[in-house]
């Protein structure tokens, strides 16, 4: 290489090296600019942002994305290190759900029960002592009907019923863990009577004392079934308290042999009424039966309970049976009868299994035996049928568990 070429090469290398040094110097300068304390500009930005962040900590339950959430205890919002300023809850379709912030502004809950199989959205805002705002959002879906069970119960809250009225609960799903469900149900009475529950099958549980309820007492049913797993993947949703009152002690005794009914209150006979029970071919069940429904007038068609003629039509079809009161699920009633001769009442058993009382068409005469008994009876009163020659009614055929002795009854408990 000639000297001229060597000098040009050295100059080029020197220029290249200088460029590297300059670039390195710029990079190094950017990393240390802004002061000599060793902190980067990004750290300072983070520190400044942290000083502006609210200390309020919002918690929404259930957690975002939850499924099978409770319809009773879900949708709670709480805050620590701050107070709530606004909470909004809507369905996924935009329907707003009413709720209330607590007096101390640290919690919020909806004011009503949520719907099943519904997606809800919650937006909450709070502020800390410095007035700095914090925000939180969540969405969850409540338990679906497929994954939940409900118990339909009798009697109704606030009702007054007769001394024979059991608490009867019918579940809309078969219960496989009966013990877990029964633990979530309590029945107590102001009289202090011991109450036991009996499972008739996977869907029905009744509760009663050993003897009839004491007249004038108050019975309380508590359902704490929310979240209770009654079957695999199937959860309870009910959380409520029900109270009802026991009325006067009225028990009526139907004697198919004498064809008379003695109506008693507190053990004393207050009226004797001539009756007509089931015929020898269609005997009335014997046993203790509880009035479960009352109808001033109703239709009775034999075809609905198996009484049909050769053409498949009902052996009877009376569209205006007066003063009818149900005694069994299978169709046993005690009711007024206007179509039979007056001589049958107290004289002959002629019915298809019901207990008939003399009455008039249209249920408009208050002076008939049928009207009197209807007006002086209530749901839950007991009618004891005797001397028919038929078998004792099944305890689960209506509200008739009184036909089991106490030991048998308690043996049906899951606890």
Count of CB atoms situated within 10 Å of the CB of 270? 12
Does residue 49 have a pLDDT over 80? no
Please state the pTM of the whole predicted model: 0.78
Q: Which residue is catalytic, options 197, 207, 323, 335? A: 335
Give CA–CA dist 326/344, Å, rounded: 22
Contacts of 342 (CB under 8 A, 6+ apart): 358
Does residue 31 have a pLDDT over 60? no
Q: In the CATH scheme, what architecture does the domain 147-247 have? A: Sandwich (2.60)
Give CA–CA dist 223/294, Å, rounded: 27
Please give the pLDDT value at position 183. Answer: 98
Q: Which residue is catalytic, options 197, 323, 352, 354? A: 354
pLDDT tens by residue, 58-100: 999 999 999 889 998 879 999 999 999 999 999 989 999 999 9
- Domain boundaries along the sequence of the chain: 57-143, 147-247, 250-402
Please give the pLDDT value at position 212. Answer: 98
Instruction: Select the CATH number that applies to the domain covering 57-143 from these four: 3.40.50.10880, 2.60.40.10, 2.60.40.3780, 2.60.40.3710.
Output: 2.60.40.3780
Active site residue 335: yes
Instruction: Select the CATH number that applies to the domain covering 250-402 from these four: 2.40.440.10, 1.20.1560.10, 3.10.28.10, 3.40.50.20.
Output: 2.40.440.10
pLDDT tier at 317, thresholds 50, 70, 90: confident
Does residue 164 have a pLDDT over 50? yes
Please give the pLDDT value at position 310. Answer: 60
**Residues 72, 184 contacting (CB under 8 angstroms):** no
Identical fold between 57-143 and 147-247: yes
């Amino acid at each position: 290489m000639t000297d001229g070429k060597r000098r040009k090469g050295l100059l080029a290398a020197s220029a290249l090296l200088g460029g590297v040094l300059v670039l390195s110097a710029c990079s190094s300068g950017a990393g240390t600019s802004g002061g000599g304390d060793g902190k980067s500009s990004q750290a300072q930005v983070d520190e400044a942002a942290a000083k502006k962040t609210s200390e309020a900590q919002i918690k929404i339950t259930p957690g975002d994305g939850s499924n099978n959430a409770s319809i009773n205890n879900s949708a709670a919002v709480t805050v620590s290190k701050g107070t709530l300023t606004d909470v909004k809850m809507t369905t996924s379709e935009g329907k707003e759900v009413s709720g209330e912030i607590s007096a101390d502004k640290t919690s919020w809950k909806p004011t009503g029960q949520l719907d099943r199989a519904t997606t809800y959205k919650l937006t909450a805002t709070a502020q800390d002592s410095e007035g700095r705002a914090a925000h939180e959002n969540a969405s969850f879906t409540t338990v679906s009907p497929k994954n939940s069970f409900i118990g339909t119960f009798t009697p109704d809250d606030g009702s007054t019923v007769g001394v024979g009225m059991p608490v009867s609960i019918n579940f809309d799903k078969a219960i496989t863990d009966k013990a877990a469900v029964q633990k979530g149900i309590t029945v107590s009475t102001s009289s202090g009577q011991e109450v036991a529950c009996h499972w008739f099958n996977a869907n029905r549980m009744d509760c009663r004392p050993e003897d009839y309820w004491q007249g004038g007492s108050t019975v309380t049913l508590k359902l704490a079934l929310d979240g209770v797993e009654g079957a695999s993947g199937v959860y309870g949703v009910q959380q409520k308290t029900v109270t009802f009152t026991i009325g006067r002690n009225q028990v009526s005794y139907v004697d198919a042999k004498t064809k008379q009914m003695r109506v008693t209150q507190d053990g004393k006979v207050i009226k004797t009424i001539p009756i007509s029970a089931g015929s020898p071919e269609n005997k009335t069940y014997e046993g203790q039966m509880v009035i479960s429904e009352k109808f001033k007038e109703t239709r009775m068609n034999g075809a609905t309970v198996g009484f049909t003629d050769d053409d498949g039509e009902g052996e009877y079809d009376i569209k205006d049976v007066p003063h009818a009161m149900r005694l069994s699920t299978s169709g046993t009633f005690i009711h007024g009868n206007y179509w039979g001769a007056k001589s049958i009442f107290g004289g002959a058993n002629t019915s298809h299994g019901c207990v008939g009382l003399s009455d008039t068409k249209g249920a408009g005469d208050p002076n008939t035996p049928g009207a009197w008994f209807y007006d002086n009876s209530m749901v839950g009163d007991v009618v004891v049928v005797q001397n028919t020659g038929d078998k004792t009614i099944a305890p689960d055929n209506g509200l008739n568990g009184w036909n089991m002795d106490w030991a048998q009854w308690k043996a049906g408990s899951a606890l």
